[in-house]
Amino acid sequence: MTRLMKTRLLAAASIFASAAMLPASASAVDLEFYFPVAVGGDAAGIIERMTSAYMEENPGVNINAIYTGSYADTTTRAITAARGGNAPQLAILLSVDMFALIDEDIILPWDDFVTEAEQESWIGGFYDSFMANSQTGGQTWGIPFQRSTPVMYYNKEAFAAAGLDPETPPATWDELVEIGQQLTLRDANGNVTQWGVRIPSSGFPSWLFTGLVASNGQDGLANDAGTEVYFDTPEVIGALEYLVSLASEHEIMAPGILDWGATPRAFMDGESAIAWTTTGNLTNIRNNAPFDFGVAMLPANVRRGAPTGGGNFYLFEGSSDEQLQAAVDFVKWATAPEQAASWSIDTGYVAPRADTWETDAMRAYAEEVPGALVARDQLAYAVPELSTFEGPRITQIMNDAIAAAIVGDMTPAEAMAAAQNQADAVLAAYR
Partner 1 sequence: MRREWIHAGLLLAPALVLLFAFTHLPAIQTVIDSFFSTARGRRPSVFVGLANYERLLGDAIFMRAMVNNAIYAAITIPVSIGLALAMALFVQRRIAGRAFLRMAYFTPTVLPLIAVANIWLFFFLPGFGLFEQLRSLIGLSPRNWVGSPDSALYAVMMVTIWNQAGFFMIFYLAALQTIPDSLREAAAIEGTPRWVFFRRVIWPLLMPTTLFLSVNATINAFRMIDHVFVMTQGGPNNASMLLLYYIYEQGFRFWDSAYAATLTVVMVVILAIVGIGQFFLMDRRVHYK
Site residues, partner 1 (CB under 8 A): 72, 76, 79, 100, 102-106, 189-192, 195, 201-203, 254-259, 262, 266, 269, 271, 390, 392-393, 396, 399-401, 403-404, 406-407, 409
Q: Which is nearer to partner 1, 217 or 318 (CB)?
A: 318
Q: Which is nearer to partner 1, 28 or 192 (CB)?
A: 192
Q: Which is nearer to partner 1, 267 or 365 (CB)?
A: 267
* Shortest Å distance, C-beta 262 to partner 1: 6
Q: How far is CA 220 from CA 201, 230, 280, 282, 381, in A?
A: 18, 8, 21, 24, 11
Alpha carbons 39 and 43: distance in angstroms, whole number = 8
Closest CA to 99 of 229, 232, 279: 229
Q: What string of DSSP letters covers 289-327?
A: -SS-EEEEPPPBSSS--EE-EEEEEEEESSS-HHHHHHH
Q: Which is nearer to partner 1, 115 or 191 (CB)?
A: 191
Q: Which is nearer to partner 1, 221 or 254 (CB)?
A: 254
* Shortest Å distance, C-beta 373 to partner 1: 31
* Shortest Å distance, C-beta 271 to partner 1: 4
* Shortest Å distance, C-beta 404 to partner 1: 4
392, 98 in Cβ contact below 8 A? no
* Shortest Å distance, C-beta 307 to partner 1: 20
Which residues are within 8 A (CB) of 195 and not within 5 positions of it... i.e. 6 or more apart? Answer: 183, 184, 252, 253, 254, 271, 272, 273
Q: List, in sequence order, every residue forming a beta bridge with 150; answer none if it has no partner.
A: 278
Q: Which is nearer to partner 1, 76 or 121 (CB)?
A: 76
* Helices assigned H by DSSP within 192-254: 205-215, 234-248
* Shortest Å distance, C-beta 191 to partner 1: 5
Residue 229 backbone dihedrals phi, psi, to 5 degrees: -120, 155
Q: Which is nearer to partner 1, 355 or 400 (CB)?
A: 400
336, 342 in Cβ contact below 8 A? no
Alpha carbons 18 and 38: distance in angstroms, whole number = 34
Angle (deg, nearest 10), helices 337-347 and 360-368? 20
Q: Which is nearer to partner 1, 172 or 202 (CB)?
A: 202
Which residues are within 8 A (CB) of 421 and not within 5 positions of it... i.e. 6 or more apart? Answer: none
* Shortest Å distance, C-beta 222 to partner 1: 17
Angle (deg, nearest 10), helices 412-427 and 391-407? 170
Alpha carbons 48 and 343: distance in angstroms, whole number = 12
Q: Which is nearer to partner 1, 42 or 269 (CB)?
A: 269
376, 357 in Cβ contact below 8 A? yes
* Shortest Å distance, C-beta 107 to partner 1: 10
